[in-house]
């Protein structure tokens, strides 16, 4: 299964590289519209609108493999459920803190918002650092550092003020944040797979139901109720598309069938989802912000086709050297995601600004790509010194 995991790792690494890149586009001017996020009320999607759903799809790809490994280690369903809940809680906590930073009102606080952001990222590092991986940190010291991180998170919540001068508010889950959305979708799909891992067709029925939920979220069928499983069904269905993709792969492999047939089937399904997305577009305009069915379907199709391309590149043609530089983004993904929460506030506090020509047009885009790569290389440096997050 090694090559299979390598395929997912490389796809995850590339997606994280692009996520850091598109999240840096705000600092540029003269960027082509097709690279940006599309406004909520505009029927369309830019390149930036593809990255997060692709990451959700990759989360789904990993779920069956991760849970199957735990069963091979003789863990019980109860133990695995506990692990799923702990990981979900970690993602939700991080997501809530990060999303509250976006609405921080530091004029009512005892510290600058950039200082608060650095301390938040530091606390996350202290709580969720993989201490067992680092032989220089004893078990006792690891527990002390983790406790210090938890205390710091509590202090940051205590001093937090958000909103505006007209209405100062405390921390609350405004929209859960990127990590929170991943957390809820990971929870639902992991529990579904844990219960139905041997019932492939039951998982497909659940997938179809989630697709319908995405359609019905806005009350499309007036005679039927609409509801959400905490977050939009779009997030759940994108993860489940990845889960089903891996389940199908494992079924083909277990039966010793030709994997070219598997790749052909996945390609066909990917194309059909893109067609479906455009067919429902008149009723559901493409919108990432509103997580419309057309956007969800097109992104599922892109995810499936991206998987096929990566599988052919990595597993079939063994072309992997190009991914060596970004490898840490696939193995220390959460650490990579956290890095900008250190870098940007440090830039602000030190008064650092990129030269004008480095923030414009094609030169600016190249700079953002290099910036993303440098962050990943730094995470690789930390990784070699056994410094990485793990949930």
- Residues 244-292: pLDDT tens digits? 999 999 999 999 888 899 999 999 999 999 999 999 999 999 999 999 9
Buried-exposed string 186-221: b where 16+ CB fall within 10 A, e elsewhere: bbbbbebbbebbeeeeebeebbeebbbbbbbbeeee
- Give the pLDDT of residue 2: 41
DSSP states of 272-323: HHHHHHHHSTTTS---TTTT-HHHHHHHHHHHHHHHHHHHIIIIIS---GGG
Q: Alpha helix locations (H) across the chain? A: 2-23, 48-72, 77-101, 113-128, 139-159, 177-196, 200-216, 233-254, 259-279, 293-311, 328-331, 333-338, 340-350, 361-384
Alpha-carbon distance of 16 to 182, in angstroms, equals 14
- Give the pLDDT of residue 356: 86
For range 229-248, the mean pLDDT:
97
- Give the pLDDT of residue 258: 86
pLDDT-derived band of residue 172, with 50, 70 and 90 as boundaries?
A: confident
Q: Is the pLDDT of residue 388 over 60?
A: yes
For range 309-327, the mean pLDDT:
94
Q: Shortest CA distance to 287 belongs to which of 7, 48, 40? A: 40
DSSP states of 314-350: IIIS---GGGTTTTHHHHSHHHHHHTHHHHHHHHHHH
- Give the pLDDT of residue 332: 96
pLDDT in tens, 32-79: 999 999 999 999 999 999 999 999 999 999 999 999 999 999 999 999
Q: Is the pLDDT of residue 4 over 60?
A: no
The mean pLDDT of the chain is: 95
Q: Which range is least confidently modeled, 188-202, 249-263, 292-306?
A: 249-263
Other C-beta atoms lying within 10 Å of the C-beta of residue 99:
20
Alpha-carbon distance of 17 to 320, in angstroms, equals 16
**Six token digits for residue 36:** 């940006």
- Give the pLDDT of residue 63: 98
Q: Is the pLDDT of residue 174 over 90?
A: no
Alpha-carbon distance of 291 to 217, in angstroms, equals 10
- Give the pLDDT of residue 293: 98
The alpha carbon dihedral of 119, 121, 122, 128 has a sign of: positive
**Six token digits for residue 248:** 């199908």
Residue holding tokens 């139901």? Answer: 209
For range 199-221, the mean pLDDT:
96
Q: Is the pLDDT of residue 340 over 50?
A: yes
Tell me the three state secondary structure of residue 379: helix
pLDDT-derived band of residue 182, with 50, 70 and 90 as boundaries?
A: very high
For range 185-206, the mean pLDDT:
97
Alpha-carbon distance of 286 to 38, in angstroms, equals 9
pLDDT in tens, 141-158: 999 999 999 999 999 999
- Give the pLDDT of residue 298: 98
**Six token digits for residue 284:** 């559901």
Decide: 33 and 367 in contact? Cβ < 8 Å: no
- Give the pLDDT of residue 361: 93
- Give the pLDDT of residue 254: 92
Q: Is the pLDDT of residue 3 over 80?
A: no
pLDDT-derived band of residue 1, with 50, 70 and 90 as boundaries?
A: very low
């Amino acid at each position: 299964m090694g090559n299979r995991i390598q395929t997912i790792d490389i796809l995850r690494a590339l997606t994280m590289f692009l996520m850091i890149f598109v999240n840096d586009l705000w600092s540029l001017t003269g960027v082509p519209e097709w690279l940006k996020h599309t406004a909520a009320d505009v029927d369309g999607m830019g390149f930036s609108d593809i990255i997060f759903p692709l990451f959700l799809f990759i989360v789904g790809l990993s779920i069956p493999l991760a849970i199957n490994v735990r069963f091979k280690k003789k863990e019980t369903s109860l133990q695995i459920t506990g692990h799923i809940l702990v990981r979900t809680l970690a993602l939700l906590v991080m997501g809530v803190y990060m999303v509250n930073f976006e609405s921080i009102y530091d004029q009512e606080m005892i510290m600058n918002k950039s200082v608060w952001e650095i301390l938040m990222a530091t606390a996350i590092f202290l709580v969720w650092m993989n201490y067992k991986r680092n032989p220089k940190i004893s078990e006792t010291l690891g527990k002390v550092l983790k406790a210090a991180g938890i205390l710091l998170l509590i202090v940051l919540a205590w001093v937090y003020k958000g909103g505006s001068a007209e209405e100062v508010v405390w921390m609350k889950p405004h929209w859960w944040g990127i990590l929170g959305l991943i957390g809820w979708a990971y929870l639902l799909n992991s529990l579904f797979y844990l219960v139905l891992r041997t019932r492939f067709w039951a998982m497909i029925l659940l997938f179809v139901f989630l697709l319908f939920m995405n359609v019905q979220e806005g009350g499309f069928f007036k005679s039927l109720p609409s509801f959400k499983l905490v977050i939009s069904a779009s997030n759940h269905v994108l993860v489940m598309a990845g889960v089903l993709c891996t389940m199908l792969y494992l079924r083909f492999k277990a039966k010793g069938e030709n994997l070219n047939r598997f790749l052909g089937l996945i390609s066909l399904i990917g194309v059909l989802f893109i067609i479906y997305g455009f067919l429902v577009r008149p009723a559901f305009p493409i919108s990432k912000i509103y997580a419309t069915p057309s956007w969800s379907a097109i992104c599922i199709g892109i995810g499936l086709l991206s998987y096929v391309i990566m599988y052919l590149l990595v597993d079939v043609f063994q072309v992997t050297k190009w991914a060596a530089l970004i490898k840490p983004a696939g193995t220390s993904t959460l650490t990579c995601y956290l890095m900008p929460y250190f870098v940007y506030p440090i830039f602000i506090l030190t008064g650092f600004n990129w030269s004008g020509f480095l923030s414009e047009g094609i030169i600016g885009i190249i700079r953002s790509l290099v910036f993303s790569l440098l962050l990943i290389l730094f995470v690789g440096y930390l990784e070699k010194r056994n410094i990485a997050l793990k949930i």
